[in-house]
Amino acid sequence: MSSTTLSSISSQAGALSKTRHVTAQNVLMAQRSERYSSSGIWVGVFAITMSFAAFTSALFVREGTGDWTHLALPQVLYLNTLLLLASSGTLEIARHRLSKEEGTRKASGWVLVTLLLGLAFCVGQSRAWLDLRAQGVFLATNPNSSFFYLLTFLHALHVCIGVAVLVYLAGRLLASHTTFRLGLFRNTVVYWHFMTVLWVYLLLLCRMKL
């Protein structure tokens, strides 16, 4: 679709004055940024996947050596899982609303719900860490606890980044309609769903291995 518009714009753009040209480019770059950012986020997702794959293989290697024990996962983790799954759902609704152009107010509500759920998840995770500390299980207590704190913390960190972006987007939505960055929003949706999937994977990993 864009190649035609692209060429037409570029052909006319030559004639346009400098200022007009820039605005012409806005449209051009608009479609471009739609396209490029979509592949960008997938590349990012791939990179994060690789890092956690590396941690996983490290875990398997470490499991082979001497002092591997067992770690009782705090129950609150399952609640957190539900929260994160729910947040994915609400964000999906928001995306749906937005693409159907039903005004951004409704969508913004769902975005707010999502980021609140995301925050709740982070709080819940820190709760899990506190529970473990209460049992006297710290980062360096045994390899299992090391891996648990490490993986959950890094994942929570990524979720926080997602929350930050959602805050920004919610602001944009509430502020005004025309400057909303749809491409960024779409990427955030991909990223957020990926965080949910990643967490489910991590939970299963911890259950089976730790």
Binding site for other proteins (CB under 8 A): 1, 3, 5-7, 9-10, 13-14, 16, 18, 21-23, 25-37, 39-40, 43-44, 46-48, 50-51, 54-55, 57-58, 61-62, 64-68, 99, 101, 139-140, 143, 146, 150, 154, 177-183
CA distance 183 to 164: 16
* Cα distances (Å, whole numbers) of residue 34 to 83, 97, 117, 121: 30, 18, 27, 30
- Shortest separation between residue 117's beta carbon and other proteins, angstroms: 25
- Shortest separation between residue 203's beta carbon and other proteins, angstroms: 19
- Shortest separation between residue 85's beta carbon and other proteins, angstroms: 26
- Given the complex with other proteins, which of 86 and 139 has the nearer CB atom? 139
- Given the complex with other proteins, which of 165 and 182 has the nearer CB atom? 182
CB 76 within 8 A of CB 131: yes
- Exposure string of 58-95, with b = 16+ CB inside 10 Å and e = fewer, is ebeebeeeeeeeebebbebbeebbebbebbbebbebbb
CA distance 210 to 208: 6
- Given the complex with other proteins, which of 85 and 139 has the nearer CB atom? 139
CA distance 157 to 138: 19
- Shortest separation between residue 180's beta carbon and other proteins, angstroms: 5
- Given the complex with other proteins, which of 9 and 120 has the nearer CB atom? 9
